[in-house]
Amino acid sequence: MDFATIIGYTGGFLLVSVIGVWLAKGSVLTFIDAASVAITLGGSLLATLAASSMKKFVNFPKYFMIIFKVPVRKSNEIILTLVSFSEKARREGLLALEDDLTELEDEFLRKGLQLVVDGTDPELVKTILYADTDAMESRHARVIKMFENMGYLAPAFGMIGTLIGLILAIAAGIDDKSALIAGVATALITTYYGAIMANLFFLPAASKLTDLHEDEVQIRDIMINGILAIQSGDNPRIVKDRLVSFLEPADRKAISEEVEEKK
């Protein structure tokens, strides 16, 4: 589980909805209103459905849970694997890699190396792998857009709920001023819910998915460059230097040391 997401969501909710209310000497119960939740959350979800497709909307819980998972694949492990394959290809030839492909868990890496082993033209290999990556980017962009839409829609439906509440409060307060004041307070809760949903949940989720997406694209770039370097028969040291250029400077030394230790 990704503790950063858990701490951020839990801590943010407690700070805004519990601790902040307590410090203001208020009651948490004041902010609990089922009708406001129905209008804000329900309206946001249905408007998102109208702007998306049923298939993506049904998978929304699955997409949301992604932000709680720690990515399994790490760029340094991918680089070490590609350098190892490069060394073997230089010693025994590209065909010698075929027996090791079944051990690769990553389908994209296995697919790329299989194309190389099969003797596919380098330009075609590059075209196929980048086309696959472009399709992945398109899929991710649509999911991220769905969360961004919810982040924009939640405050809007919060305002709609507030307008509904104000209309009802004014209607009830014509003969009873105290009812008007109480109704206005209740009406503003939907604006509160909309702001919380957008700024604490939906928009941070979109940002987190964007960050995970960028990491995935970087890993894909490392794989493609490594696969093409292996196919062209580059020296393993050159392959390593080429791939570590994608990493942060602080991580490059550690990779170089690991490669040296494996020799």
Q: What is the share, in percent, of the chain residues with pLDDT greater than 90?
A: 44
The residue-averaged pLDDT of 100-120 equals: 91
Q: What is the DSSP string of 10-35?
A: HHHHHIIIIIHHHHTT--GGGG--HH
Is the pLDDT at 258 greater than 70? The verdict is: no
Confidence of residue 145 (pLDDT cuts 50, 70, 90): very high
- pLDDT, tens digit (0-9, with 9 covering 90-100), for 232-254: 998 888 888 888 888 887 777 76
The residue-averaged pLDDT of 43-48 equals: 92
Residue 115 confidence (pLDDT): 94
Confidence of residue 186 (pLDDT cuts 50, 70, 90): confident
Q: What amino acid is encoded at 137 in this protein? A: E
- pLDDT, tens digit (0-9, with 9 covering 90-100), for 190-221: 999 999 999 999 999 999 999 999 999 999 99
Q: 234 in a domain, yes or no?
A: yes
For residue 181, give its domain range: 33-74+124-262
Is the pLDDT at 19 greater than 80? The verdict is: yes
- Which among 159, 187, 203 is positioned nearest to 40, based on CA atoms? 159
Q: 164 in a domain, yes or no?
A: yes
Distance CA 144, CA 148 (A): 6
Is the pLDDT at 188 greater than 80? The verdict is: yes
Q: 3 in a domain, yes or no?
A: no
Residue 174 confidence (pLDDT): 64
Q: 196 in a domain, yes or no?
A: yes
Query: Pick the residue with more confidence: 76 or 193?
Result: 193
Query: Pick the residue with more confidence: 257 or 211?
Result: 211
Q: What amino acid is encoded at 136 in this protein? A: M
Distance CA 41, CA 55 (A): 19
Domains: count for the chain: 1
Residue 169 confidence (pLDDT): 79
Q: Give me the residue label for tokens 């590059």.
A: 126
Residue 260 confidence (pLDDT): 62
Is the pLDDT at 42 greater than 80? The verdict is: yes
Residue 195 confidence (pLDDT): 93
Question: Among 13-17, 92-96, 109-113, 258-262, which is the least confidently predicted range?
Answer: 258-262
Q: 101 in a domain, yes or no?
A: no
Q: 188 in a domain, yes or no?
A: yes
Q: 109 in a domain, yes or no?
A: no
Is the pLDDT at 139 greater than 90? The verdict is: yes
Q: 217 in a domain, yes or no?
A: yes
Helix (H, G, I), strand (E, B) or coil at 246: coil
Residue 231 confidence (pLDDT): 92
The residue-averaged pLDDT of 44-55 equals: 89
Decide if 13 contacts 200 (C-beta within 8 A): yes
- pLDDT, tens digit (0-9, with 9 covering 90-100), for 156-180: 999 998 888 888 778 776 666 666 6
Mean of the per-residue pLDDT values for the chain?
87
Total-model pTM = 0.85
